[in-house]
Chains A and B, each alone.
Chain A
């Protein structure tokens, strides 16, 4: 008996060796957390926080939500903008009508409401697949857009179609400054990302991937396809709803149904196509690309050509460029920037390996 256990111990001994790189990874993680939570707010100016970092983080979060649905569970959707508006309006109404709830609870509840709406929209996915599902999520998108424009109750009977958001505060700490809004967004993104990473490696995540790869085969081997799809819609819309609420409160400062139109749905879908479907890092890469490329283009064009090109033409050129890039990525690199990054890291590791 004892000999077996010692043999087992010998067997398992090498498996314990990689504990050092793991602890090193934790140190790297702690340093990264310190940098983004403490370093960035100290160093970045208001323009960077307001106009680049906050939209980047929120778009990454929306991308993460759509990626769970489209990249992991294989259910393509163009209702992202609609679900974002549900999150924004739900959070707005919770803050307005139940002011005793703290902000994080309102955000989470807004997300849950968006998740429930998403689940209802996801019921269609039980019968409709692929391209047809995309067409039917268009119905969700346009219906939700119409709903929030049409019924005054959602915007508290405000006369203009955009309503200013209530003051942001957690337990008396004012968060309406650029740093406060950045930290609020960053905390939400960090928490949701951690949960999402756990989720995609859990039973649920594996169920989603089985459904994505082939739902008939998945149902044959006993995977609950229907509940898996609905769960994917719920979680995805919850994350997208939180992103929508943050977009309205932490970025724009107003709740406006027009900022959650079909263009937003396409934008988030482009982010995950460029970044990489079925990858968590890909959302951040795609969102960074989406936020930074127009700014870079603006600088390059105004620097080289001066005033020769007006802003309308530049905007059209941007759209054409994004369209071309998306076609290129879909053909040449369907796994997006995340695949490029991992290949680059592998080649570096190979070159530096002894």
Chain B
């Protein structure tokens, strides 16, 4: 058993945030975005910043989504009751 695997599972969180929590399509698309985004960032952004960008890039992307589109790409906008 390896506890290092928790870091892989943790990356599912940005996937869900980007895709939207209520949508299965969103999970697939979010997974593709996070996977491709990580690798592209590693090549293009990593060249500028000196590598290992993929440790945080997915989370930063999720924060951007939370700020601009909190429900994610395919999620239903939550109705907030007070």
A contacts, CB < 8 Å to B = 124, 127-128, 132, 135-136, 138-139, 142-143, 145-146, 149-151, 216, 262, 316, 319
Q: Which of B1, B53, B62 contacts A136 (CB under 8 A)?
A: B62
Q: How many residues on the B side are at the interface (Cβ–Cβ under 8 A)?
A: 22
Counting CB contacts under 8 A, is B36 at the interface?
no
Cβ contact within 8 Å between A135 and B1: no
Asked if A138 meets B49 with Cβ closer than 8 Å, knowing A124-B67, A128-B66, A143-B56, the reply is: no
Q: Which of B28-80 contact A (CB under 8 A)?
A: 49-53, 55-56, 59-60, 62-63, 66-67, 70
Asked if A132 meets B66 with Cβ closer than 8 Å, knowing A138-B10, A142-B59, the reply is: yes
Given contacts A124-B66, A128-B67, A150-B51, 11 further A-B pairs with CB under 8 A are A127-B66, A132-B66, A135-B66, A136-B63, A139-B62, A142-B56, A145-B55, A150-B49, A151-B50, A262-B7, A319-B3
Cβ contact within 8 Å between A135 and B62: yes
A128→B52 CA distance, assembly (Å): 27
Cβ contact within 8 Å between A132 and B70: yes
Q: For residue B50, which residues in chain A have a CB less than 8 angstroms away from its CB?
A: 150-151
Q: For residue A262, which residues in chain B have a CB less than 8 angstroms away from its CB?
A: 7, 10
Q: For residue B1, which residues in chain A have a CB less than 8 angstroms away from its CB?
A: 316
Cβ contact within 8 Å between B49 and A139: no
Q: For residue A138, which residues in chain B have a CB less than 8 angstroms away from its CB?
A: 10, 13, 59
A124→B13 CA distance, assembly (Å): 17
Closest-by-CB residue of A relative to B60 is A139
Q: Looking at chain A's contact residues, is the secondary structure mostly helix, strand, loop, or mixed?
A: helix
Q: For residue B70, which residues in chain A have a CB less than 8 angstroms away from its CB?
A: 128, 132
Q: Looking at chain B's contact residues, is the secondary structure mostly helix, strand, loop, or mixed?
A: helix
What are some 14 contacts across the A-B interface (CB < 8 A)? A128-B66, A128-B67, A135-B14, A136-B63, A138-B59, A139-B59, A139-B63, A142-B56, A142-B59, A143-B60, A146-B56, A149-B52, A151-B50, A216-B82
A316→B82 CA distance, assembly (Å): 42
CB < 8 Å A-B pair total: 54
Q: Which of B1-29 contact A (CB under 8 A)?
A: 1, 3, 7, 10, 13-14, 17
A136→B64 CA distance, assembly (Å): 9
Cβ contact within 8 Å between B13 and A135: yes
Question: Considering residues A138, A143, A216, which has the most beta carbons from chain B within 10 angstroms of its beta carbon?
Answer: A138
Cβ contact within 8 Å between B17 and A135: yes
Q: For residue B52, which residues in chain A have a CB less than 8 angstroms away from its CB?
A: 146, 149-150
Closest-by-CB residue of A relative to B82 is A216
Q: For residue B10, which residues in chain A have a CB less than 8 angstroms away from its CB?
A: 138, 262
Question: Considering residues B1, B17, B56, B60, which has the most beta carbons from chain A within 10 angstroms of its beta carbon?
Answer: B56
Q: For residue A139, which residues in chain B have a CB less than 8 angstroms away from its CB?
A: 56, 59-60, 62-63
- Report the minimum CB–CB distance from A264 to chain B (whole Å): 14
Q: For residue B59, which residues in chain A have a CB less than 8 angstroms away from its CB?
A: 135-136, 138-139, 142-143
A127→B60 CA distance, assembly (Å): 15
Cβ contact within 8 Å between A124 and B53: no
- Report the minimum CB–CB distance from A246 to chain B (whole Å): 26
A128→B68 CA distance, assembly (Å): 11
Closest-by-CB residue of A relative to B49 is A150
- Report the minimum CB–CB distance from B33 to chain A (whole Å): 16
Q: For residue A127, which residues in chain B have a CB less than 8 angstroms away from its CB?
A: 66-67
Q: For residue B67, which residues in chain A have a CB less than 8 angstroms away from its CB?
A: 124, 127-128
Q: Which of A136, A149, A151, A216 contacts B66 (CB under 8 A)?
A: A136
4 closest cross-chain pairs (CB), A and B: A139-B59, A142-B56, A143-B56, A136-B63
